[in-house]
Amino acid sequence: MTQTSEPFIRIDQVEKRYPARRGEGTLALDELTLSIDSGEFVSLLGPSGCGKSTLLSMVAGLTRPTRGDIAIGGRPIQAPYTELGMVFQSDLLLDWRTVIDNVLLQFEMRGIDPRGHREQARALIASVGLAGFEAKHPWELSGGMRQRVAICRALVHDPALLLMDEPFGALDALTREQIQLDLQRIWQSRRKTVLFVTHSIAEAVFLSDRVVVMTPRPGRIHAVLDIALPRPRDLAVRESAQFSAYVREVGHIFQALGVLK
């Protein structure tokens, strides 16, 4: 008897159509099937409007597919899935709360007394290089520091799954490189499953085990690339022929799809 092990996330023939007042509405995603293993780092790369954010919100159980199913850990998603952390392009920090209280908000939102979790939050904040900033307010931090705080808030309750929607899109190039390295380190030490949306081909290749290349709307999977670069990856890996070959391959796919002209 062959034994097939259930992937951590199973997205099975998912379609999402947003209704319109009149007419057919918008078919955002179509026939999308993807399995993600526990601990995998998977990026979604595709043109604007191809349904990447929609897919994340369906995995989080915040939006329902109009067809098909999504299961996490073998259980169909029928309500918001809470064992996850989310990071968006905007950090969504509360300006009147300190850094540590922004991180601890994760517990408060879940109705958990945050007092027992201060040390855990402190350690996490230190691990992203922000020791000494616990009592500062978001407006006293740079964009990169703020986004690190947002990552801490997404991780402090130790979820198995991290959903990231263009988390570094608003950062300057240098900060972005550093935070990619930090994210890789956190991911390697904590073994989260990460579903990561980006518009940067190089960022997707640098961070991922697999890069999912999507078509223009309605978003379908056009190709899935296994990124066989050894880990941990340092910035020098981007100078390698293998790295450039992956970036070129994705570039060619987007040219063929008419996304890059």
Ligand X SMILES: Nc1ncnc2c1ncn2[C@@H]1O[C@H](COP(=O)(O)OP(=O)(O)OP(=O)(O)O)[C@@H](O)[C@H]1O
The residue type at 169: G
Decide: 14 and 77 in contact? Cβ < 8 Å: no
Measure the CA–CA gap between 185 and 154, rounded to whole angstroms: 15
CB nearer to ligand X: pick between 115 and 261: 261
**Residue 208, interface with Mg ion (CB under 5 A)?**
no
CB nearer to ligand X: pick between 2 and 48: 48
Reported as type and span, the H/E element at residue 11 is strand 9-18
189 binds, among Mg ion, ligand X, none (CB under 5 to 8 A by kind): none
Name the DSSP class of 117: G
| Angle (CA) 90 70 57, round 5° | 15
167 binds, among Mg ion, ligand X, none (CB under 5 to 8 A by kind): none
49 binds, among Mg ion, ligand X, none (CB under 5 to 8 A by kind): ligand X
**Residue 53, interface with Mg ion (CB under 5 A)?**
yes
**Residue 198, interface with Mg ion (CB under 5 A)?**
no
Q: How far apart, in Å, do the first and last CA atoms of the chain sit?
A: 50
Stretch that binds Mg ion, among 12-20, 25-33, 51-59, 123-131 (CB under 5 A): 51-59
Q: What is the CA radius of gyration of the chain?
A: 19
156 binds, among Mg ion, ligand X, none (CB under 5 to 8 A by kind): none
Minimum CB distance to Mg ion, residue 140 (Å): 29
Measure the CA–CA gap between 72 and 88, rounded to whole angstroms: 21
Minimum CB distance to Mg ion, residue 52 (Å): 5
Minimum CB distance to Mg ion, residue 166 (Å): 6
**Which residues, 6+ apart, have CB-to-CB distance to 226 below 8 Å?**
209, 210
Measure the CA–CA gap between 258 and 145, rounded to whole angstroms: 37
CB nearer to Mg ion: pick between 104 and 150: 150
Minimum CB distance to Mg ion, residue 34 (Å): 17
Decide: 39 and 24 in contact? Cβ < 8 Å: no
Stretch that binds Mg ion, among 8-16, 48-56, 67-75, 252-260 (CB under 5 A): 48-56
Minimum CB distance to ligand X, residue 27 (Å): 8
Measure the CA–CA gap between 66 and 239, rounded to whole angstroms: 43
5 binds, among ligand X, Mg ion, none (CB under 5 to 8 A by kind): none
Minimum CB distance to Mg ion, residue 110 (Å): 25
Q: With CA atoms as reference, report the closest residue to 187 among 212, 211, 151, 157.
A: 151
Residues that bind ligand X (CB under 6 A): 18, 26, 28, 46, 48-54, 217
Binding footprint of Mg ion on the chain (CB under 5 A): 53
